[in-house]
Amino acid sequence: MLAAASCLVTGLQVPSMGLTPQRSLSQPQWRHRFEMATMNSAIERLREMKQRESRAVKAEVPMPAILEGWGCDAKLWSKVRSKAALIKLAEAGDEVGAKERIAMLRASPSITGETVDLPAQLATWGCDAELWSKVRSKQALISLSEKGDEVAVKERLAELRTSIAAEDTRKAAPAAVATPGAKNSKLARPLSDGYWLKGALPEGFDAAAVEALLARRVEAKLIKDYASADALQKEIVDMGVYLNDRERWWQPIAAAA
């Protein structure tokens, strides 16, 4: 009966999904398994539909003619993920801002397809290829390496190893069943909540400037303007700040030392 009902659930033709009746399961348990499999199948289909729609929208957005005169060609335009930012600059007639952004986009790894190699100095201080491949914010480590701050680099590497190991463990663990009204402290802090300051500030540190840049970075990431988010991240890191993108906190490197 349940197998026959699979064609009637929300109009979707649901495959067997590897479910086979088990004598040890009661009818309510079997029904629950079937409903969960059906829901997961529907969610996956909706995700695929949204991805196709997103790709179609990106492809359909025409490039403003003025941008071509400022150095943006069709090939670059097709690779830009956040076209809205360039469109706004074009509408505002901001040639300087548009040219700076176009130059930044051309050098972005997401456009060039280049990978960021592990600096030899970081390898000497304990960063191996496996860890480097999992580091999301590589520029922070590169900046510390260029400054020759071995102590800060090693502390950051230790934090990254702990954080990545915890993330891997969380992904490998079976998904917990959510309890209505219950709070899960292990869930990642939503990006829209912004970043919080961890620890005390060194004397004379300009926290307001960091908070302003962080707010702009959050806004850029929320609209998927990753090129601007990366540029802002570099600016924040250059101020001597460590960002934890998993738990959404920041800390002056001097305070962590």
Domain residue extents for the chain? 2-58, 61-112, 120-171+189-256
Tokens of 172: 């490998």
Neighbours of 143 (CB within 10 A): 17
pTM, to two decimals: 0.33
Supply angle C-alpha 232, 87, 83, rounded to 5.
65
145 and 153 Cβ atoms separated by less than 8 Å: yes
CA dihedral of 99, 221, 92, 97, whole degrees rounded to 10: -20
pLDDT in tens, the chain (257 residues): 444 444 444 444 444 444 455 556 677 777 777 777 777 777 777 777 766 655 554 446 889 999 999 999 988 888 887 788 788 889 888 898 889 888 877 877 666 666 778 889 999 999 998 888 887 667 778 888 888 988 888 888 888 887 777 677 666 655 444 444 444 444 567 777 788 888 878 777 788 888 888 988 888 888 888 888 889 998 888 888 888 888 888 888 765 55
Q: Give CA–CA dist 250/243, Å, rounded.
A: 5
Q: What are the Cα distances from residue 189, in Å, to 37, 179, 194?
A: 28, 18, 8
3-state helix, strand, coil in the chain (%, to 5): 60, 5, 35
| Side-chain-side CA neighbours of residue 113 (13 Å) | 2
For residues 5 and 183, give the distance between their C-alpha atoms in angstroms, rounded to a whole number.
Answer: 35
The phi and psi torsions of 9 (rounded to 5 degrees) equal: -80, 110
CA dist 257 and 246 (Å) reads 21
Check: CB of residue 30 under 8 Å from CB of residue 6: no
Q: How far apart are CA 162 and CA 111, in angstroms?
A: 31
Angle at 39 (CA atoms; ends 35, 45), nearest 5 degrees: 150
Q: How far is CA 73 from CA 70, 132, 189, 241, in A?
A: 9, 33, 38, 36
79 closest CA partner among 46, 116, 114: 114
C-alpha neighbours within 13 Å on the C-beta side of residue 104: 17
Rounded alpha-carbon distances, angstroms, from residue 62 to 77, 120, 224: 9, 43, 18
Please answer whether residues 186 and 234 qualify as being in contact, where contact means their C-beta atoms are separated by less than 8 angstroms.
no
